[in-house]
Structure 1
Amino acid sequence: MTIKVLVVDDSALIRNLLGKMIEADSELSLVGMAADAYMAKDMVNQHRPDVITLDIEMPKVDGLTFLDRLMKARPTAVVMISSLTEEGADATFNALALGAVDFIPKPKLDSPQDFNEYQDLILEKIKSAAHAKLKTQRAAPAVVVQPSHKPALSNRVINTQLVAIGASTGGTEAILSLLQQFPAVMPPIVITQHMPPGFTRTFAERLNKLTRLNVKQAEDGERLLPCYVYIAPGDQHLEVIKVGGSFKTRLTQGDKVSGHRPSVDVLFNSVAECAGANTTAAILTGMGKDGADGMALIDEQGGKTFAQGEQSCVVFGMPREAIKRGVIHHVVELPQLADKMLNYLASLKRD
């Protein structure tokens, strides 16, 4: 069975470009192309697509309004096509909160190589979206619990432990849900979420507003502090190194690792090397296997490893791969994951 795809975009150029890319793949079937939400609504009812690529900025009815109505009337896997602006990034994260599975920036195709890379990426995202769990099918997010009900962490734990998190497809909302469950006082947290340049700063700002922690996009060479969360910038690997008695960030433009830059494996490997048994790591929803090798090294060095359970994942690929390797100590659905991690940290020897 081929995957039925509907393209919704007010630009004829983008519609035709995406249409040609989809038609070139034997696993996909282009069932329609719509220039606005009204045409899209009719085509959704007529063709019942498996996946919709949806432009955020459209005339008459914008992409977010259409997405909200779609998710209430006929939940469908949606990949947002996003503009590389601050407003576009904000709208993208709102779309993911409404239930879109994934997003990709609008194409900037200055060379044949750009075209081929973009085609590979959009086709991969469409296929992944077709097999993703929609918001209505996943375990409900946890209700945010007040800090007084969370176990207190010792000063030694706060100042010696590192928390590392990796995610891909579905990760933006999973990370938000997880961080909202954490109290304001935590060891430093480092996160790699697969995301293109131009979106990670807005993502960090969003998390900073919606959680008790101080969240920022990581900069090169900064000292990791308790109560802070550091997000890997798009298109740069985030590593942690130890300088003297302090953990510091290192950003690099090295080759893609496990198919990605930033790579979860790069982050996890670095944390395993410099923090060892003082590492608490979680691998969340995502396509592929990035993070499995790094989790193996964290396990080998004596750190504690967690994986998000299948029922709450948008895509179970990354957690499944790490679980298959036998390097995950606890598999926990997202609503309970923060409590499990906090209980572990609270159980460590007090000062």
Structure 2
Amino acid sequence: MIKLLIVDDSALMRRQLKTIFQAEGDFVIEVARNGEEAVELNKRFEPDIITLDINMPQMDGLTALSLLMAERPVPVVMVSSLTEKGAISTFEALNLGAVDYIPKPDGTISLSITEIEEEIIAKVRAAAGAHLKKSRGLAARIRGDLSVSKVTGAAPPKRSTLRVEQGARNDGLVIIGVSTGGPRTLEDILPQLPGDFPWPVLVAQHMPPSFTRPFAERINQLCALDVFELQRPMPLEPGKICIGRGGADMVVMRRANRLMVSTRPESVQHLWHPSVELLGESVLQHCEPQRVIGVLLTGMGYDGAEAFAELKRRGARTIAESEQTAVVFGMPAELIKRGGATKVLPMERVAEQIMQWVNAG
């Protein structure tokens, strides 16, 4: 049995979520109306997984999350509104240690939660077995050196110690696929790439439409490279990190013998969006595999595994994040199972390996 704590100030949301998980038959459920009750029940009920609303009276979700992680760390899935403000709060929650988030389709009180019932169940089940990552600066926040309410936005930029060697070619491409646990993981990997990194980087991170622009802006604050959300067709440019837009897919194409990256409406043939598999298929069609590096990071499911495995078979170099650091060892595990991983590496060694391959030509 999985012990689940549902935390929401809305009686309707508590009832809806409880009904969904009671129907599964293998959940023991407790509910809390606010952050204070959540902190107490985390110690008394000892849940395996918590769903936590962000906007609550008495104690908001971010404050509660920081206390939960300090007193008894547990996998947490945030319940977030589909707004840019909700996105920013969600990224801060992920930075504090939350595993994933559930978007409310109708805002604060969702009357159509059943529309995403399968997604909610899948995310909570995946998070229940997730690998927790320590939050940067959490101890300082809890001690009171910094208030949680003041710790918003991205962390200060990191200075990369990696260097591009003279003579490194600039005709390659890096593609990255990631899902659950991705924002925190990308915040650790992408800032390690130096400012003179010579290849374009395309990132397919599963996210809803209103989240990808603030996420790209957040990552841009951390990186020496320019980071942006893909809005329209554009040439692949060295040293640019392009985040696929939520609510669409991202593909590579060739126009007038020039490689471009573009958005397209979500493909009904693929379950997750922006689709990693579709990105990989387009790279197979238009790029020389020997000049491609594919990286498959944390995430549930198998998105991208087959396309990345085929890229490796045709000469590309690929990295699967290891179980040691993956929040959810789903997507990288599927790549490994298909024999598609040139290297299996923990998160902290991914950027270094990319640089080694780029410098090797």
Report which of the two has the higher share of helix.
Answer: 1
The corresponding residue for 2:153 is: none
Q: Is the CA contact (8 Å cut-off) linking 1:82 and 1:88 kept in structure 2?
A: yes
The corresponding residue for 2:19 is: 20
- Per the alignment, in what secondary structure is the counterpart of residue 157 of structure 1? coil
TM-score by length of 1: 0.91
Alignment of 1:184 with 2:200, yes or no, is no
The corresponding residue for 2:179 is: 168
Would you say how many aligned residue pairs link Structure 1 and Structure 2?
A: 336
The alpha-carbon deviation at position 245 of structure 1 amounts to: 3.6
Which of 232, 242, 246 is residue 244 of structure 2 equivalent to?
232
- Per the alignment, in what secondary structure is the counterpart of residue 344 of structure 2? strand
1:1-351 to 2 correspondence within 5 Å? 2-30=1-29, 32-108=30-106, 115-136=113-134, 146-147=159-160, 149-153=161-165, 157-158=169-170, 160-186=171-197, 187-276=199-288, 277-348=290-361
Distance in 2, matches of 1:174 and 1:257, equals 27
The alpha-carbon deviation at position 257 of structure 1 amounts to: 4.3
Q: Which sections of structure 1, spanning at least 5 residues, go unmatched?
A: 138-143
Deviation sequence 1:49-82 (CA, Å, 0-9, x none)? 1111001111111111110111010001100001
TM-score by length of 2: 0.88
Distance in 2, matches of 1:181 and 1:120, equals 36
The alpha-carbon deviation at position 191 of structure 1 amounts to: 0.5
Deviation sequence 1:113-171 (CA, Å, 0-9, x none)? 9544411011110000011011149xxxxxx9744x4231557622x111100001111
The alpha-carbon deviation at position 246 of structure 1 amounts to: 2.3
C-alpha change, 1:61 and 1:188, in structure 2 (3 Å) is same
Q: Is the CA contact (8 Å cut-off) linking 1:257 and 1:265 kept in structure 2?
A: no
Q: Is the CA contact (8 Å cut-off) linking 1:8 and 1:35 kept in structure 2?
A: yes
C-alpha change, 1:179 and 1:40, in structure 2 (3 Å) is same
C-alpha change, 1:107 and 1:199, in structure 2 (3 Å) is same
Q: Is the CA contact (8 Å cut-off) linking 1:257 and 1:263 kept in structure 2?
A: no
C-alpha change, 1:208 and 1:145, in structure 2 (3 Å) is closer
Distance in 1, matches of 2:204 and 2:212, equals 10
Q: Is the CA contact (8 Å cut-off) linking 1:216 and 1:230 kept in structure 2?
A: yes
The alpha-carbon deviation at position 330 of structure 1 amounts to: 0.8
The alpha-carbon deviation at position 321 of structure 1 amounts to: 0.6
The corresponding residue for 1:140 is: none
Q: Which sections of structure 2, spanning at least 5 residues, go unmatched?
A: 136-156
Query: Which letter maps to 1:212?
Result: A
Deviation sequence 1:313-347 (CA, Å, 0-9, x none)? 10111111101111111111111111111011101
Q: Is the CA contact (8 Å cut-off) linking 1:256 and 1:263 kept in structure 2?
A: no
Distance in 2, matches of 1:136 and 1:221, equals 38
- Per the alignment, in what secondary structure is the counterpart of residue 302 of structure 2? coil
- Per the alignment, in what secondary structure is the counterpart of residue 324 of structure 2? helix
Distance in 2, matches of 1:272 and 1:317, equals 23
- Per the alignment, in what secondary structure is the counterpart of residue 49 of structure 1? coil
C-alpha change, 1:9 and 1:151, in structure 2 (3 Å) is same
Q: Is the CA contact (8 Å cut-off) linking 1:192 and 1:262 kept in structure 2?
A: yes
The alpha-carbon deviation at position 25 of structure 1 amounts to: 1.0
The alpha-carbon deviation at position 301 of structure 1 amounts to: 2.7
C-alpha change, 1:115 and 1:34, in structure 2 (3 Å) is closer
